[in-house]
């Protein structure tokens, strides 16, 4: 009995421990679930729209635009050409292994049947240090440096051109959103005016023709609202194609359009363009590349020297020693190559290179003239857009105030329905014109910065 009592006590103890473990594990599980829910609540939902600034849009466009990536690819290729041109100036080291078998002459087993060969079995294992000395090698290295400068300039041209594209698409979407908001406001104002005219008609203060005109105006504003929504969706799609590799439409853009700061003087812009214009740098580097290409072509008419130094073995047995003698040794050779006759191919290459150099000179002269003309044209466009923005802002404010006063006058019986409708249309047009003016300024600024860089 004592043994069974102790066993029962022992079993009860284990039961209590098991219950405690179950309760503890349940508490830990509940705490883990609470923690995971709290953590999930602090995280942003997966379907939250991505908010993009203009700088964010530019970075995404650079990663996904095929034209800009092609320019970067050309830059990478030019960098590798530069590495290969530098390597051509330095000695190369190669290791050669060769086995030659020649039929024996029958009289002597080790004598080959061909007198030009050294033995029936010949093993060659040699290291070769090879160097070519030619004027064309140096010129090719210089040409690759000029080509690298051209690729760098063209990649910058592509980046600045992409900036204009992104600015146009980005702010087109911003303004499309603004115009949609303006259309919503105009629709609500038309609805409110329709209600006012209906109340005045019931009071016998206005004719039914006023209600009809207000209804027509309301219908027109509803159509304009639908068109504004369609334009907003189209601009979003165009921007999505430009920015995302997987065509993501779940994003929002930051509206940073505001009255810009005063412009720099034309002299400051001209100085920046003379130092930072990639088109001019590309034209200059292209001429330098063409000059070196002429030198490379002319080197085909000049002699070249190649030097080889060999160390290793050339023996009838594949061993470092045979018959008590070492098979290892060294030799050197110097080769002078004189071009004599190539059916005019070398002189044709010189003529081709000279024609390309003449074209490069013409393009450089044109790039200089084009820079002067574009600089003046783009600056005048930017200056006009900047000065008109203040007038457009004033017009938008005055049009809104005119609409408010005209509506009050109509309620007081001092204005006609046509005046109210005209004030509504004028207010909408003034708001949209101000938004378009801001986009015009940003695009004009981006166009000028393709010549000068940021300022």
- Residue 48 pLDDT: 82
In a domain, 162, yes or no: yes
In a domain, 98, yes or no: no
- Residue 330 pLDDT: 94
In a domain, 254, yes or no: yes
In a domain, 218, yes or no: yes
In a domain, 199, yes or no: yes
Tokens of 283: 């034209």
Q: What string of H, E and C letters represents the secondary structure of the chain?
A: CHHHHHHHHHHHHHHHHHHHHHHHHHHHHHHHHHHHHHHHHHCCCCCCCEEECHHHHHHHHHHHCHHHHHHHHHHHHHHHHHHHHHHHCCCEEEEEEEEEECCECCCCCCCECCCCCCCCEEEEEEEEEEEEECHHHHHHHHHHHHHHHHHHHHHHHHHHHHHHHHHHHHHHHHHHHHHHHHHHHHHHHHHHHHHHHHHHHHCCCCCHHHHHHHHHHHHHHHHHHHHHHHHHHHHHHHHHHHHCCCCCCCEEECCCCCCCCCCCCHHHHHHHHHHHCHHHHHHHHHHHHHHHHHHHHHHCCCCEEEEEEEEEEEECCCCCEECCEECEEEEEEEEEECCCCCCCHHHHHHHHHHHHHHHHHHHHHHHHHHHHHHHHHHHHHHHHHHHHHHHHHHHHHHHHHHHHHHHHHHHCCCCCHHHHHHHHHHHHHHHHHHHHHHHHHHHHHHHHHHHHCCC
Q: Torsion over CA of 305, 311, 314 and 320, rounded to 10 degrees? A: 180
- Residue 36 pLDDT: 41
In a domain, 96, yes or no: no
Q: CB-based burial of residue 245 (10 Å sphere; 0-12 exposed, 13-18 middle, 19+ buried)? A: exposed
- Residue 80 pLDDT: 96
Please say whether the beta carbons of 438 and 257 come within 8 A: yes
- Residue 109 pLDDT: 64
What angle do the packed helices 135-202 and 278-299 form, to 10 degrees? 160
CATH number at residue 213: 1.20.1600.10
- Residue 28 pLDDT: 42
- Global pTM value: 0.78
Tokens of 255: 């509206």
- Residue 110 pLDDT: 73
- Residue 112 pLDDT: 84
Q: Profile the chain (455 residues) by mean pLDDT over runs of 10 residues.
A: 46 49 45 41 60 94 94 96 93 93 76 82 92 90 95 95 95 96 95 93 90 94 96 95 90 89 89 91 95 93 94 90 88 93 93 96 95 95 93 94 94 92 95 95 94 84
- Residue 4 pLDDT: 45
The total number of structural domains that make up the chain: 1
In a domain, 112, yes or no: no
In a domain, 378, yes or no: yes
Domain residues for the domain of 220 are 54-90+134-302+339-452
Tokens of 271: 């100085």
């Amino acid at each position: 009995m004592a043994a069974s009592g102790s066993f029962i006590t022992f079993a009860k103890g284990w039961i209590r421990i098991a219950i405690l473990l179950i309760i503890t594990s349940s508490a830990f599980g509940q705490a883990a679930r609470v923690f995971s829910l709290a953590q999930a609540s602090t995280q942003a939902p997966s379907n939250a729209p991505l908010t993009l600034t203009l700088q964010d849009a530019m970075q995404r466009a650079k990663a996904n635009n095929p034209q800009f990536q092609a320019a970067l690819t050309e830059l990478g290729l030019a960098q590798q050409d530069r590495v290969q041109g530098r390597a051509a100036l330095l000695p190369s080291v190669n290791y050669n292994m060769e086995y030659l078998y020649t039929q024996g002459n029958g009289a002597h087993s080790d004598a080959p049947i061909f007198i030009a060969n050294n033995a029936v079995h010949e093993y060659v294992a040699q290291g070769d240090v090879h160097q070519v000395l030619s004027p064309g090698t140096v010129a090719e290295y210089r040409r690759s440096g000029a080509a690298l400068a051209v690729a760098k300039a063209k990649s910058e041209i592509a980046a600045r051109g992409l900036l204009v594209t992104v600015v146009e698409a980005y702010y087109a979407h911003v303004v499309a959103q603004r115009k949609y908001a303006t259309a919503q406001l105009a629709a609500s104002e038309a609805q409110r005016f329709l209600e006012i005219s209906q109340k005045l008609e019931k009071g016998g203060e206005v004719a039914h023709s006023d209600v009809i005109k207000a209804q027509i105006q309301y219908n027109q504003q509803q159509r304009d609202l639908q068109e504004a929504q369609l334009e907003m969706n189209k601009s979003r799609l165009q921007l999505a194609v430009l920015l995302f590799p997987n065509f993501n439409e779940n994003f929002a853009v930051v509206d940073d359009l505001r009255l810009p700061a005063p412009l720099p003087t034309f002299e400051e812009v001209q100085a920046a363009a003379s130092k930072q214009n990639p088109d001019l740098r590309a034209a200059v580097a292209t001429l330098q590349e063409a000059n070196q290409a002429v030198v490379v072509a002319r080197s085909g008419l000049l002699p070249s020297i190649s030097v080889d130094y060999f160390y290793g073995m050339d023996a009838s047995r594949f061993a470092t020693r045979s018959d008590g003698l070492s098979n290892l040794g060294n030799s050197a050779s110097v080769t002078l190559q004189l071009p004599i006759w190539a059916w005019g191919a070398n002189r044709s290459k010189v003529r081709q290179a000279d024609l390309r150099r003449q074209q490069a000179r013409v393009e450089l002269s044109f790039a200089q003239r084009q820079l002067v003309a574009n600089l003046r044209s783009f600056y005048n466009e930017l200056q006009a857009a900047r000065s008109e923005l203040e007038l457009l802002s004033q017009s938008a404010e005055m049009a809104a105030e005119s609409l408010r006063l005209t509506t009050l006058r109509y309620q007081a019986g001092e204005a006609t329905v046509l005046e109210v409708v005209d004030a509504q249309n004028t207010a909408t047009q003034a708001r949209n014109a101000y938004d378009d003016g801001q986009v015009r300024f940003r695009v004009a600024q981006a166009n000028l910065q393709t010549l000068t860089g940021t300022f």
